[in-house]
Amino acid sequence: MDYLIGCITDPAPGQALEPGPDAMAGQASHASGSLHGLQWFASATTGRLRSHEAAGAFYACVGAPYGTEAGGDDPAPALARAAAGDSPALATIGGEFALLAMDSASRSLVLASDAFGSVPVYYASVPGGLAFGTDLGWVARRAGAAGAIDPQALFDYLFFNVVPGSRSIFKGVHKLPSASTLSWRDGRSSLRRYWQPGFRHTDTALDGLRQESFEAISAAVGRVANLPGMGCFLSGGLDSSSVCGLAARHAGSGVRAFTIGFDVPDYDESRYARISARHFGLDLHEKCIHSADVTACLDRVIGAFPEPFGNASAVSAYLCAQFARDAGISRLLAGDGGDELFAGNERYQKQSVFNLYGGLPAWLRTVAVDPLAALSRRAPGPLRKLASYVDQARVPLPDRLFSYNLLVRNDPAGVLTPEFLRQIDPDAPHAYARAVYAEPATGDALDRMLYLDWALTLADNDLRKVRMACDLASVSVHFPMLDPRVAAVSTRVPSSAKLTLRELRKFYKEAFAGFLPAEVINKEKHGFGVPVGLWINGDPVLRDRVQGRLQALGRRGIIQPAFIDDLLRLQQTEHAVYYGALMWTLFMLEEWLAAQHL
C-alpha cells in the first residue's frame, strides 16, 4: 500500500511520527523529513513515492499519478506548480494519489486527494496544528481520537453501508473530499475543490463523440497496458470487458485476466467472462468461490479497512486480487467508473420514470393524475400501483433515491435505541446527499445523480473497496475509466443519449458496438456480487458467526435487540437475499468494532 503521514505544529512537534506497521510492509520505498514545524513520512509499496524541494516549495506524493497535458505522462511539472500554490494544476493530473505540499516562505501546507478520491486522506486538529495522512488509525491516535467513535458516523454507516463524505468513524477526524485541497496556514484551514465537472451537453455530432469516447478510454488503457506484471479484473460486464479488450488491443493477445464465479448459479457470471476472453484472445484464469473461502479470509478483510465497510463484494474483490497475485500479477486494471460516467445503474432509469410525473403540466396532474391516484388507493391489486407511483414521484431528488433504505422504510425509533437516537441527526445522510447533488453549476437530473454517485458509489464505496482489496493482496490497481479525459468526454454526452426508458448505457453500447461481443453488450448488469444471504442459510459455520455477532451488536445500545431478533427470523423464513444483505451490514459493523477492541 501507499502511505503518507505528517504533522505540522507551532512550535515544531516534539513527538516522533512513529508510522504504523503498514508503512514498511513489503519492499516499500520510503522517505521522511522535517521543515518549519512540519514532520512527514511517506512510503510506497504498490505505487511510487515522489518528493521534491526547490525554490522553497516542497511536495511529497504517493500513488500512481500521471500528467495529462501535452508533453507526456510525467506528473512532476503539475505537482511542482501545485506545491507552489497553483492548485488548479492538480486538475491536469490523472490516476490515484495523495499529495502533501508546503511553501516555506509562507509556511502554508496543502493536502490534496485525486479527482475521484481513490486514495483517502484524513486530517484532524492537534494542539497548535494539524495531523494528517492516508492512515486513519494513525491520524486518530495522533489526535487522541482513537476509540472515540462518532455516533453520527455510525448512523451514516447504517444508512449507506459505508461512512460517507467528509466524516470518519472517529470523532474529530475528517476525510478530504475527492478533487479537493485542504490548506493550512497560521492555525487556520480552508477546504476547496480544485476541479468541478461542467455538464455541457453536445447536441450534435454524436457519432464523433462516440468515437472520441472510445479513443479516450483506449488511450487510458493503453497508457498502462504494457507495464510489467499487468493483469485485468474480468467480471464479464461492459466495463471490465472493455478494459480487457483494449488491453489486448495495445499489448497483444494473451493478456492475463482474472474472474471469479460462485457455487450459486444465479450469481455466477463466469460464462460472460469466457465469452470476452475468447473474443479478445485473453489468458483467462477462473476461480470458483464457496462460503468457506469467505469465512477463511474474513478476518484479513475486516482488518484491512480503517472503518466499518458493509459492501460484501469486498470479499470477492480481495479473493480475485489474491488469485491474481498468486499467479504472479503485481498490477491490475479495473473497470470501475463506467456505470457512473455513462449511466449504467438501474436506479437512473427508474428515476427517469418518476421524473415523467414532474414533467406533466401542473393542471393535468391536478385535474386527472392526482385524483385517479387517490381513487386507486381503494382499488384492488395492481391498480394501487398508480398511487404508489405518484407518492414516490412527489418525493424530490435526491431523497427519492433512498426510498427503499431500511432507515427510510422503517421508523428509526423501531430500529435504533432511544439513547443512540438522541446523539444523532436522522436527516444528516439526506442532507449530505442533497449538498453533493446541488454542487454542479450545470446539469440535469441524470447528470446530478451521476455526480452524486461519483461520491457515494465511487469515492465512498467501490474505489475504497477495490483499492483496499488490492492493497491487502499487495497488488497495485489502476482505474482507466476515471482518466480525466474520459470523464470530460462523458460530461458532454446528452442525458437522452446516455440512457432511455428502455436501455441503460445506450451511448456507451453504441460507441463499443463492433468491439465488444454482442452477448456482453446485451447482458444484464451484475459484477462481483456475493450471495451472502444464501450462504448464511446454507453454511452453519458462517451462520453461527453472523448470528453471534448480531446478538453482540444488540447489547451495545445502538440497535434495538428486538429488531435484530426480527431480522434473524425474517432472513431464515421470508427473503434470504434481502434480509441477508441487511444482516451483513450489521455483521461487518460488529466485526469491525470487535477487531478494534471497542
Query: How far is 210 from 420, CA to CA, in rounded Å?
Result: 51
155 and 100 in a common domain: yes
Entry pTM: 0.94
Q: What does the H/E/C string look like for 137-152?
A: HHHHHHCCCCCCECHH
493 and 399 in a common domain: no
Higher-pLDDT residue of 7, 47: 7
470 and 336 in a common domain: yes
What is the model's pLDDT at position 80?
86
329 and 216 in a common domain: yes
At residue 479, does pLDDT exceed 70? yes
Domain annotation covers residue 425? no
- Assign residue 495 the CATH number of its domain: 3.40.50.620
Contact of 236 with 278, CB cutoff 8 Å: no
Range of the domain at 392: 346-411+433-443
Give 68-111 pLDDT, tens digit per residue: 876 678 898 888 888 878 888 999 999 999 999 987 777 788 99
Cα 527 from chain centre: 14
Q: Please state, rounded to an integer, the average pLDDT across all residues of the chain.
A: 91
**What would the mean pLDDT of 267-276 be, rounded to a whole number?**
92
Domain annotation covers residue 275? yes
Q: Which of 193, 214, 246 is the last residue of a domain?
A: 193
Work out whether strand 256-262 and strand 230-233 pair parallel, antiparallel, or are unpaired: parallel
What is the model's pLDDT at position 578?
85
Domain annotation covers residue 422? no
Report residue 375's pLDDT band, with 50, 70 and 90 as the boundaries. confident
What is the model's pLDDT at position 58?
83
157 and 30 in a common domain: yes
236 and 90 in a common domain: no
Higher-pLDDT residue of 160, 47: 160
Cβ neighbours around 291 below 10 Å, total: 23
Q: Which of 133, 164, 193 is the last residue of a domain?
A: 193
157 and 89 in a common domain: yes
369 and 309 in a common domain: no
293 and 232 in a common domain: yes
Report residue 265's pLDDT band, with 50, 70 and 90 as the boundaries. confident
- Assign residue 144 the CATH number of its domain: 3.60.20.10
Q: Which of 193, 222, 255 is the last residue of a domain?
A: 193
What is the model's pLDDT at position 15?
64
554 and 407 in a common domain: no
At residue 306, does pLDDT exceed 60? yes
Domain annotation covers residue 590? yes
Domain annotation covers residue 152? yes
What is the model's pLDDT at position 185?
85
189 and 213 in a common domain: no
Residues 6+ positions from 166 with CB-CB distance below 8 Å: 174, 175, 176, 177
Domain annotation covers residue 199? no
Query: How far is 446 from 105, CA to CA, in rounded Å?
Result: 45
210 and 188 in a common domain: no
DSSP state of 377: T
Domain annotation covers residue 220? yes
- How many domains does the chain divide into? 4
Domain annotation covers residue 426? no
